[in-house]
C-alpha cells in the first residue's frame, strides 16, 4: 500500500498540472496568441537550462554509451514506422502519416521525462534520460522535414532540405545546451554562483510551465470526433514502444536497472506537445494531432502508473529479459 501511495504522490503533480492547465484553458477566456511567449520561454530558455544542468556534471564516459543509444533510437524508429504505416492505412496521405508517425513514437521526453524519472529513479537515471532526449530528437527532427519534403510540403530541392535539416539540428536550443553541457563536463567548468542560481531557477521552472501549457493547448482544441487510428497509435506509443525498448535493450546488453527502467519509462510517456507544433507548422492533421495528445495523455495516467509500479516500486519486471 505504501508503494501505491508513493506512486500516487509522484504522479499527481504531473497530471494535476496538466489538468489545471486544461481547466484554465476551458474557463478563462484569453487569446491563444499569449501561449507563444510561454512556448518561447520553454524552448529557448527554461528547457535548455534544464538539460545543461543534467549534463554538465556527468562524466563523459556516461554519455558515450553507443550501444544504449543505438538500441533506444532503433526502438523509436520502429515505433515511428509502425505508426506511419497505421496513419497511411487510414488516410492514404503521406504528410498526415508523418504526423501520425510522430504521434506514435515521440514521447513527452522534454516536459515530463526528466523531472518524473529523476524523482522515480534518482540521479543515476540522468545520463540515459539525456541521451534518449538528444538522439530521439535528432532522429525525429531529421526524418520529419525530409519526409515532408518528399510529400511536397517543403518546396525545396533535396540538397536544400538536407542543409536546412543540418542547420536546424545544429542550432536547436536543446542541442546547443547539450553541447555546452558536454563542454562543461569535459573542461570541468563551473558557472559563477550568480549565473548558476539563474540556471537553477530556470531549470526548475521548465516542467511546471510545460505541463500547464500542455493542458491549456489541449483545452483550446476540443476533439470533435475520434479518428479511427488514434486508439492504435496510443497503443503503439504507450504499450508497444516501451516493450520494444525493453526487448531491444535486453538483446543488446546488460545496461543495469537504472538505465533500462529509465528508457522504458521514457518510452511509456504520453505523446509530446511538439506533435501539435509540427502539425500546425505544416498545416496537416491538426485535429488528429490534438486527439492523439488528449487521448494519449488520459490513457497514460493508467499505463504509466502500471509501468512505474512494475519497475521502480516492485521490480516485478526484470530489467534484463536475457540475462
Confidence class of residue 263 from pLDDT cuts 50, 70 and 90? very high
3-state secondary structure (DSSP) of residue 272:
coil
Lowest average pLDDT, out of 29-33, 49-53, 151-155, goes to: 151-155
What average pLDDT score do residues 288-305 get? Answer: 89
> How far is Cα 231 from Cα 269, in angstroms, rounded to an integer?
16
> How far is Cα 20 from Cα 74, in angstroms, rounded to an integer?
35
The tally of domains found in the chain comes to: 1
Q: Is residue 255 part of a domain?
A: yes
Please report, for the domain that includes residue 275, its CATH number.
1.20.1530
Q: Is residue 179 part of a domain?
A: yes
Tell which residue, 244, 238, 230, has the closest CA to residue 78: 244
Q: Which domain holds residue 178?
A: 2-313
Tell which residue, 302, 275, 306, has the closest CA to residue 106: 275
Q: Are 72 and 138 in contact (CB under 8 A)?
A: no
Q: Is residue 199 part of a domain?
A: yes
Grid cell at residue 279: 502539425
In tens, the pLDDT along 202-234 reads: 988 888 888 888 888 878 876 677 788 899 999
Q: Is residue 318 part of a domain?
A: no
Q: Is residue 321 part of a domain?
A: no
Between 38 and 86, residue with greater pLDDT? 86
Is the pTM higher than 0.75? yes
Q: Is residue 109 part of a domain?
A: yes
Q: Does pLDDT of 1 surpass 60? A: no
In tens, the pLDDT along 64-83 reads: 899 999 999 999 999 999 99
Contacts of 274 (CB under 8 A, 6+ apart): 102, 106, 110
CB-neighbour burial class of residue 28 (10 A; exposed 0-12, middle 13-18, buried 19+) = exposed
Q: Does pLDDT of 250 surpass 90? A: yes
Q: Is residue 57 part of a domain?
A: yes
User: What are the b/e assignments for 215-244, b being 16+ CB within 10 Å?
Assistant: bbbbbebebeeebebbebbbbbbbbbbbeb
Q: Are 246 and 268 in contact (CB under 8 A)?
A: no
Amino acid at each position: 500500500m505504501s508503494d501505491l501511495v508513493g506512486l500516487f504522490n509522484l504522479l499527481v503533480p504531473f497530471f494535476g498540472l496538466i489538468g489545471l492547465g486544461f481547466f484554465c484553458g476551458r474557463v478563462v477566456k484569453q487569446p491563444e496568441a499569449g501561449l507563444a511567449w510561454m512556448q518561447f520561454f520553454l524552448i529557448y530558455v527554461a528547457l535548455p537550462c534544464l538539460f545543461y544542468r543534467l549534463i554538465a556534471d556527468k562524466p563523459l564516459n556516461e554519455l558515450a554509451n553507443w550501444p544504449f543509444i543505438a538500441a533506444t533510437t532503433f526502438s523509436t524508429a520502429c515505433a515511428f514506422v509502425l505508426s506511419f504505416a497505421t496513419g497511411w492505412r487510414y488516410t492514404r496521405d503521406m504528410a498526415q502519416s508523418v504526423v501520425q508517425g510522430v504521434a506514435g513514437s515521440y514521447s513527452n521526453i522534454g516536459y515530463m521525462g526528466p523531472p518524473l524519472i529523476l524523482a522515480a529513479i534518482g540521479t543515476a537515471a540522468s545520463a540515459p534520460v539525456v541521451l534518449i532526449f538528444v538522439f530521439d530528437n535528432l532522429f525525429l527532427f531529421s526524418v520529419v522535414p525530409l519526409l515532408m519534403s518528399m510529400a511536397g510540403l517543403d518546396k525545396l530541392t533535396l540538397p536544400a532540405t538536407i542543409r536546412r535539416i543540418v542547420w536546424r539540428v545544429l542550432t536547436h536550443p536543446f542541442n546547443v545546451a547539450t553541447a555546452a553541457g558536454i563542454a562543461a563536463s569535459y573542461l570541468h567548468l563551473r558557472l559563477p554562483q550568480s549565473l548558476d542560481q539563474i540556471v537553477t531557477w530556470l531549470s526548475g521552472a521548465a516542467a511546471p510551465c510545460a505541463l500547464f501549457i500542455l493542458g491549456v493547448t489541449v483545452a483550446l482544441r476540443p476533439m470533435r470526433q475520434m479518428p479511427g487510428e488514434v486508439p492504435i497509435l496510443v497503443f503503439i506509443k504507450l504499450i508497444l514502444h516501451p516493450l520494444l525498448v525493453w526487448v531491444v535493450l535486453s538483446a543488446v546488453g546488460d545496461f543495469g536497472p537504472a538505465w533500462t527502467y529509465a528508457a522504458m519509462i521514457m518510452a511509456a510517456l504520453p505523446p509530446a506537445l511538439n506533435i501539435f507544433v509540427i502539425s500546425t507548422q505544416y498545416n496537416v492533421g491538426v485535429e488528429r494531432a490534438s486527439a492523439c495528445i488528449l487521448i494519449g495523455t488520459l490513457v497514460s495516467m493508467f499505463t504509466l502508473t502500471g509501468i512505474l509500479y512494475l519497475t521502480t516500486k516492485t521490480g516485478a519486471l526484470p530489467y534484463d529479459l536475457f540475462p
